[in-house]
Amino acid sequence: MTAPSANAPILFFDSGLGGLTVLGPTRALLPTAPIVYAADYAGLPYGEKSDAELAARVPALLGRLVERYQPRLAVIACNTASTIALAHVRAALDLPIVGTVPAIKPAAEMTQSGVIGVLGTEATVRQPYVDDLSAKFASDKIVLRHGSPALVAAAENKLNGREVNAAAAERAIAGLRRQPGGDAMDVIVLACTHFPLLAAELQAAAGPDVRLIDGSAGIARRIAHLTQGQPWPAEAAPGVAVFTRSDTNPPPPIAALAPYGIGRIETI
């Protein structure tokens, strides 16, 4: 396989701004990597869409993005899109694809009580993929699940500089706690890339004895491994954020994206 150009970007894809939690640790490992961050604001929120709709939408949109930006690798930085559409994307596109899946394996290794919470979108927590991960890595544990679309909206509000309702985090934690075994839960898997943006609010609601875990660092290491030995620019350049056009979800201010190395915004 021919080595990519040094200027070939890494493409990060999410329904909204949650994938920035994957972009951040990737930037730390690959500081000069060219970046294209794509957010499907026209389709936000994914957690309320049907599996069939996402299985068609995500590969089609990623195909347009790959044609336009010619990335060396694409990252589906969205648990919902990954658990539903990852296989479809890999079948449709001829480049490496990195998905995002709930960090149930490390959570199972971390828990002392044997009770794990999985907090995600409604679409993610109902997926057979989560059943399979639980059976494979946490068969001797209690795995509780709760879907919270309100947390996605709260995370978007936080990055856009709008007020965050702490009650959304409290309700999400309560949704896990009230299930059988919930009082003993000591690890919570943040199974939506939006949710680490609310780590402070979720930690306050869960209490100091509960550890929060997500898969962003592992995904960044996977990206670095797959691109090992490839050429990179000598210096970092500002990345681009691409948003699908939406009448109800305008792109955020560039100041919200600048800490992640984004220097300009485009729409498609």
Q: Which pLDDT score, from 0 to 100, does residue 33 have?
A: 97
Q: Which domains does the chain have, with CATH numbers?
A: 10-100+217-267 (3.40.50.1860), 104-214 (3.40.50.1860)
Structure tokens at 105: 């394996």
Which residues, 6 or more positions from 52, have their beta carbon under 8 angstroms from its beta carbon?
A: none
What average pLDDT score do residues 181-192 get?
97
Measured between alpha carbons, how far is residue 155 from residues 18, 142, 166, 253 in Å?
8, 28, 11, 15
Nearest to 31 by CA among 258, 256, 260: 260
Nearest to 212 by CA among 193, 221, 201, 199: 199
Percent of the chain with pLDDT over 90: 87
Is residue 2 scored above 80 in pLDDT? no
Is residue 248 scored above 90 in pLDDT? no
Q: Model confidence over 133-157: pLDDT tens digits?
A: 999 999 999 999 999 999 999 999 9
- pLDDT tier for residue 125 given thresholds of 50, 70 and 90: very high
Residue found under tokens 């930006």: 69
Report the alpha-carbon distance of residue 27 to residue 80 in Å, rounded. 23
Q: What is the DSSP letter of 250?
A: P
- Predicted TM-score (pTM) of the model is 0.94
Structure tokens at 198: 């609310």
Q: Model confidence over 41-82: pLDDT tens digits?
A: 999 888 888 999 999 999 999 999 999 999 999 999 999 999
What average pLDDT score do residues 89-115 get?
96
Q: Catalytic site residues? A: 78, 192
Q: Which pLDDT score, from 0 to 100, does residue 1 have?
A: 57
Q: What angle do CA 241, 244, 247 make, to 5 degrees?
A: 120
